[in-house]
Structure 1
Amino acid sequence: MQEKEAERVVEALRTRGVMARVARPAAFRFGVRIPLGDGREALWDVDGAAGLEAQIMANGVLVGFVPHIEGSEDFDEAQTVEAIAAARYP
């Protein structure tokens, strides 16, 4: 995900009531960070792989994941927003 795209996705999620921030896991890498309210957070699309998936982290440790969403490598921004907003976390 590019920086501007991540910013637009975050803004669209916020308008839907989802607490989201741009994630910056490394230089020139961007994604979406969603706090889950129980000490965990979902990091969407921060690994640079094609398609949409999330890592669930707690205190910097991987504790779960949302697997690759089939067909998401071809999603536009609206579909990406919808997928993240509708996600259920383990």
Structure 2
Amino acid sequence: MKNFLVCYDLFGNKNYDKLVRRIEQYPVAQKVMNTTFLIKAEEDEQASNVLENLKQTVEDDDRILVIQVKNDAAQANSLTSDSGLNALVK
């Protein structure tokens, strides 16, 4: 499986529920910051595919960033522990 970092900003008085539900459809989705998830997707997924999937739930002025993560991570005061984070990115 591939690991991706997903960050987003929705502008105005918008509801995050549709986007979060879509993110949580991936095999593993762990919220690590208020608007940031680490997800695991199938091995053939590309960041651009994940982005296109998530864009279907937001408006044109919203921001989404998807970056593939490979085997190394560090954090301070995130919503997950060091061991949890390392388990996600392996």
Query: TM (normalized to structure 2)?
Result: 0.29
Q: Which has the larger radius of gyration?
A: 2
Query: TM (normalized to structure 1)?
Result: 0.29
Higher relative contact order (CA 8 A, sep 6+): 2
